[in-house]
Amino acid sequence: MGGSEVHEHVRDRRALSKGPPYRLTAGLLLGSILVSQAIPVAKDHFAGNVPPLLAQLHPSVGPWLVIAVAAVLSMIALLPRALEWGRTAFLATVVAAGWVVSVALAAQAKGLSAVSAPFRRPLDYYASVPLVRALGARAFAVDFPRLQTRLSLHARTHGPSAVLFPWLLSKMTAGSVLGVSLLVALVGLAGAIATYFLARELASERTARLAAILFACAPGVLLYSATSMDAVFMTVIAFALAALVRFPRSTTWAVVAGMLWAVSLSFTFGAAVLALFGAGIGWMAVRAPDGQRAATSAVVVRGVLVLAGLAAGGLILWRLAGIDLIADFRAASRAAAHDPSRARPYLYWVLFNLPAFLIVAGIPQTALLLHETPARWRARSFGFETVLWATLALASLSGVFLGEVDHIWLFFVPPLAASAAAGLERVLAQAEDRSGASARRTVTRVAAGALVQTTAMQLLLYTYW
């Protein structure tokens, strides 16, 4: 090893030994809020007073706080221990613990009525459920592109499944809005299962479990799962992505991924970002190390099969449910073009969408991602973290998302958790090598940091959802 190589090796080891930049990450992300206070344009056509987050600084503490804190402390104690359990028990525990914390935090100030309050608003998707009951599910889906003036504001800019799904939950719960809200929260936390399978394809079993924990502790997941349909969109897209990451090595998974993509698009056209992930996953496959590298021709063929699965999924949705993805997209695009968010400044959101999303993804999770990224890049081993960063950059530059990404971009939390878990695995491996430190202790600290942030946001901010 030459002198320059030795110097570079020592420099890399020193950089990695510093650990994840938790404090720096917190300072930068919270600093983005302070900077936004000094930029008048940050609040143009924006209901929040803490941009780039769509939230109001509105401290609120109620009688359920004790229950919420107990749920948070139980989750901190339980999840690191669950790492050593069987897979089914582990995933069930992560989902259940996250669901209890999500509901308890949403209810801490005003009780269970606060959990269902967002679904009762005239702007929400649930407000269009009576229209489904009046027309019938199939007629609603068939006529969806022509029902714009009769739909709630949120329903107009999404696919028909964004209304059909809460309608289905309403039937299951005998019309109970609270029941619908609780099930939506459960579906949101079920994204931990998709996150696990996404990360398992990319890394080891332990890394996949760490990814599920990081997902379940993310502030955005816990704060919005109990109050927003965006949590459902997140989970549906996460399962599609978990299939998509397998497409370079499997023709079956390629077709399944395409079909799940079609289902995702029937909920939200934000699922179009799966095209960017698919391109990045294909790039990873042809650049993988020898022995793992896929032939370019095979990746191209399977990429075509993904598109074939997408077309087949769209056809099945049309034949079975009356959902016309193309017509629905045109109608949603026209509605989005007249949305108030179009008046917001493009350049500001290109710069501040990312901090808004990373705050709700979690400060510890972001720090772990920032720890993993340079380590991979220095080794010239560009992986899924690179695909994620590129997708986030292109999504911002597209101008499609002008604010509100703290909940609209929830579907980026699963891939971020998978990438951050690789950083946490690196931290655990280094600690075990140096001192034999317990992985459970480190995971406990990371989970505690994320859950403390979540609790603080719930107590200090009113997030509308």
Q: Are strands 56-57 and 461-462 parallel, antiparallel or unpaired?
A: antiparallel
- Averaged over 321-331, what is the pLDDT? 97
Q: CA 348, CA 384: separation in Å to the nearest integer?
A: 27
Identify the band that residue 14 occupies on the pLDDT scale cut at 50, 70 and 90.
low
Q: Please determine, for residue 20, whether its predicted confidence score (pLDDT) is greater than 90.
A: yes
pLDDT number for residue 437: 57
Query: What six digits make up the tokens of 400?
Result: 């499609």
Q: CA 309, CA 253: separation in Å to the nearest integer?
A: 10
Give DSSP secondary structure letters for 276-331. Answer: HHHHHHHHHHHHSPTTTPPPHHHHHHHHHHHHHHHHHHHHHHHHHH---HHHHHHH
Segment of 107-121, 295-309, 335-349, 420-434 carrying the highest mean pLDDT: 295-309
Does residue 162 or residue 8 have the better pLDDT? 162
Cα separations (Å) of 116 from 103, 256, 292? 10, 34, 48
pLDDT number for residue 291: 76
Identify the band that residue 375 occupies on the pLDDT scale cut at 50, 70 and 90.
very high
C-beta atoms surrounding 7 within 10 Å: 11
Of 291-300, 413-422, 429-438, where does mean pLDDT reach its minimum? 429-438
- Averaged over 286-298, what is the pLDDT? 88
- Averaged over 115-137, what is the pLDDT? 95
Segment of 56-65, 264-273, 339-348 carrying the highest mean pLDDT: 264-273
The rounded radius of gyration (Å) of the Cα atoms in the chain is: 22
Identify the band that residue 343 occupies on the pLDDT scale cut at 50, 70 and 90.
confident
Please confirm whether the linkage preceding 52 is cis (ω < 30° from 0).
Answer: yes
Domain count along the chain: 1
pLDDT, tens digit, 9 for 90 and up, residues 189-221: 999 999 999 999 999 999 999 999 999 999 999
pLDDT number for residue 8: 46
Q: CA 67, CA 60: separation in Å to the nearest integer?
A: 15
pLDDT number for residue 465: 67
Of 293-302, 307-316, 391-400, 432-441, where does mean pLDDT reach its minimum? 432-441
Identify the band that residue 336 occupies on the pLDDT scale cut at 50, 70 and 90.
confident
pLDDT number for residue 65: 94
Find the Cα–Cα–Cα–Cα dihedral 196, 393, 357, 285, rounded to 10°: 0
Does residue 126 or residue 439 have the better pLDDT? 126
Q: Please determine, for residue 464, whether its predicted confidence score (pLDDT) is greater than 80.
A: no
What is the residue range of 16's domain?
3-462
Q: Please determine, for residue 67, whether its predicted confidence score (pLDDT) is greater than 90.
A: yes
pLDDT, tens digit, 9 for 90 and up, residues 97-108: 999 999 999 999
Q: CA 343, CA 248: separation in Å to the nearest integer?
A: 41
Identify the band that residue 290 occupies on the pLDDT scale cut at 50, 70 and 90.
confident
Of 104-118, 140-154, 434-448, where does mean pLDDT reach its minimum? 434-448
Percent of the chain at pLDDT exceeding 90: 80
The whole-chain average pLDDT of the chain stands at: 92
pLDDT, tens digit, 9 for 90 and up, residues 445-459: 999 999 999 999 999
Does residue 464 or residue 11 have the better pLDDT? 464
- Averaged over 86-113, what is the pLDDT? 96
- Averaged over 43-55, what is the pLDDT? 85
Of 20-29, 366-375, 433-442, where does mean pLDDT reach its minimum? 433-442
Does residue 404 or residue 384 have the better pLDDT? 384
Is the separation of the CB atoms in 418 and 384 below 8 Å?
Answer: yes
Give the H/E segment covering residue 56: strand 56-57
Does residue 455 or residue 7 have the better pLDDT? 455
